[in-house]
Amino acid sequence: MPLSNLKIKNHMVFSMITMCFSIEQIQVGALLNNITSGKIAIPEIQRPFVWDAVNVRDFLDSLFRGFPTGYLITWKNSKVGVTEGTAKDRYILIDGQQRVKALQTSLLGFDVMDKNYNYKRIIISFHPITKKFQVANPIEYTINKGWVEDISKIFDPKTSLSDFLDEYCTHNPGVKKDDILVSLLSLQAIETYQIGKIDLFESLSLKRITEIFIRINSKGVPLSQADFVMSKIAANKDDGGDMLRNAIDHFCHLASDPSFYLKLKKITNFTSSEFFPQMDWLHKKKLDIYIPSYSDMLRVAFTTEFKRGPLKDLVALLSGRNFETKEDEDAIVKDSFRRLKSSINRYMNEFDFNQFLIQIQSAGFVKASMISSQNALNFAYIIYLTLREQKWNDADIMRSVRRWFVMSLLTGRYSGSPESKFGEDIEKIHEPGIIDYFDSIVQSELSDAFWEFSLPEDLKTSAASSPYFHLYQAAQINKNDKGFLSDSTVEHLVKIQSDVHHLFPRDYLKNRGKKPSEYNQIANYVVCEKPIDIAISNKEPREYFKEIFDQCNGGQKKYGNIADMDSLHENFRMNCIPEYCISEDGIENMTVDGYSDFLAERRKLMSQKIKKYFEGL
């Protein structure tokens, strides 16, 4: 084909493509003015600020060096709900929130709200001589006056650059004033950096805009499936999605920060909604062991109501997907939104939420730090809501929820990506039923071999954050055990003033050539009071165990208040201290040479304690 004909053909093909955008350049300074004034606003379908301080630093460095930083995408529309700004004739920021918020916090000194609903400043420093950026480090700034600690001062209109320069040179004698001035002017020139801006046509539908937003944000800092769902919910005002999105956000915010209630009460369009009465109770209660994110709420509500696991299925249902015909149907959209609203309301119900927390706490998990898997907690709540819907009695619900939760932690059932396991479990809980299904899991995964061999081997770790150590602590709390040599319960010590004590003191082992992975073994840990830990110090176990025996035979009290051998035997049993440690002859082995044997024996005892605890739930 002749070249001229090929060009004509390509032109004809290109002319068939319907463009939905235009492109322009905007300076950083003008962009920030438009954001501050509300001319450009952030829509509700956007995400929280998820960049960390290093991302902000690197972004500014790219601007300073004139590197490309990607396009912003806006859409002119005054009707879409926004997180801030009320201008009528405004553009909606579809892509670029992270970059805009990074500029606002670093250059203008604004606080930004992160995904945990905490407001914070990200302060970036600049070194005019080396022309390097770093996350602000007050300690280094105190030592090295060459850093401009907070670059927002250079962009503040109230700052006199001349006065700032004089002060800088006073603190840094010997620098060339002209060189520093050029460097600071180069920093200020970031305001003139041209950023590409794609403006989507006003005629585009919200559905089309949401599709563009989701597709764009699948790059960069990836959207999770929960982000996709939240975007899909917010985009559907006809079925109340905007208010549902607000309900999920506000519940999570209130769970994290009860003081948010004062601000929430002023949002009149929300307080008059069906959702506000369901969460009104939350400001009176400080949550600890279960502070849900929007991802947690969606997983629980979706799996409970729709009996499915993957959140991508929820995106499909909210789009009207008929999984049998592979077609989208408006009736399915409306039904899916109705069912999701109902399930979210059930999730937020005061009675159910608090009863669930009581059941988890009664299993011995009294602090959030003891729970190693949020998804194990999520699925336990699914179990609770499901059995409540099936009209089980309270005692059987409690037993099932506690046993399932502990089983999940023991087996690491929901580690990694939980969605497929959520789907498998919810299906089998309904058919053949939770009792038969649970028993089959226990038989296959928690056999005698698990308790006798696998769990003791899993306890061979130096990580105090190990789920197995927390399970051991939960077992002690559940049985109302007392701390090592203590009158106080393990629950009291864990919640109020606990100290993890090394039975073979750390310094004692360290001075005898043991590595951290050896002396920090969790089988070497007990929970005890701080004064007892201090009194033991770095003594050899053989030495301080003899002193404990003397104390129980009328001698001086050095370690707690235990004063008789029966009480000592009981305390050692509660804390899984091997029996041979109770005899005068046995403690002769409590030296560095007997350390490995001690750990092996104690791991077996800890495993058996967890087993009895699990079976008694």
pLDDT digits (tens, 9 = 90+) for 58-68: 999 999 988 88
pLDDT at 580 exceeding the cut of 50: yes
Q: How far is the first Cα of the chain from the last one, in angstroms, to the nearest whole number?
A: 80
**Token pair of 170 as six digits:** 């006073």
Closest CA to 250 of 239, 261, 240, 236: 261
Residue 13 is predicted with a pLDDT of 46
CA 135, CA 123: separation in Å to the nearest integer?
A: 6
- The kind and range of the H/E element at 73 are strand 72-76
pLDDT digits (tens, 9 = 90+) for 309-364: 998 899 889 989 898 898 889 999 999 999 999 999 999 999 999 999 999 999 99
- More confident site: 70 or 15: 70
Residue 14 is predicted with a pLDDT of 43
Burial 14-32 (b: 16+ CB within 10 A, else e): eeeeeeeeeeeebebbbbb
| Model confidence band, residue 288 (pLDDT cutoffs 50, 70, 90) | confident
Residue 87 is predicted with a pLDDT of 47
pLDDT digits (tens, 9 = 90+) for 390-435: 999 999 999 999 999 999 999 999 987 788 899 999 999 998 899 9
Strands (E), 280-375: 321-322, 327-328
Mean of the per-residue pLDDT values of the chain: 87
Burial 382-404 (b: 16+ CB within 10 A, else e): bbbbbbbeeebeeeebbebbbbb
Residue 271 is predicted with a pLDDT of 92
Reduced to 3 states, what is the DSSP secondary structure of residue 529? coil
| Model confidence band, residue 3 (pLDDT cutoffs 50, 70, 90) | very low
Average pLDDT over residues 577-583: 89
Residue 566 is predicted with a pLDDT of 93
Q: Are 525 and 498 in contact (CB under 8 A)?
A: no
Residue 440 is predicted with a pLDDT of 94
Q: Which residues have C-beta within 8 Å of that of residue 545, sequence separation ≥ 6?
A: 581, 587, 590
86-100, 173-187, 225-239: which range is least confident on average? 86-100
Q: Which residues have C-beta within 8 Å of that of residue 203, sequence separation ≥ 6?
A: none
Question: CA 516, 517, 518, 524: dihedral to nearest 10 degrees?
Answer: 90
- More confident site: 91 or 607: 607
| Model confidence band, residue 512 (pLDDT cutoffs 50, 70, 90) | very high
Does 531 sit behind a cis peptide bond, omega within 30 degrees of 0 on the bond before it?
Answer: no
Share of the chain above pLDDT 70, in %: 90
| Model confidence band, residue 607 (pLDDT cutoffs 50, 70, 90) | very high
pLDDT at 368 exceeding the cut of 80: yes
Residue 416 is predicted with a pLDDT of 75
What is the distance of C-alpha 255 from the center of its chain? 13
| Model confidence band, residue 12 (pLDDT cutoffs 50, 70, 90) | very low
CA 414, CA 391: separation in Å to the nearest integer?
A: 26
- Going by the DSSP 8-state scheme, the letter that residue 114 receives in this structure is B
Backbone torsion region of residue 485, taken as left when φ is above 0, otherwise alpha when ψ lies between -120 and 50, otherwise beta: left
Q: Are 487 and 566 in contact (CB under 8 A)?
A: no
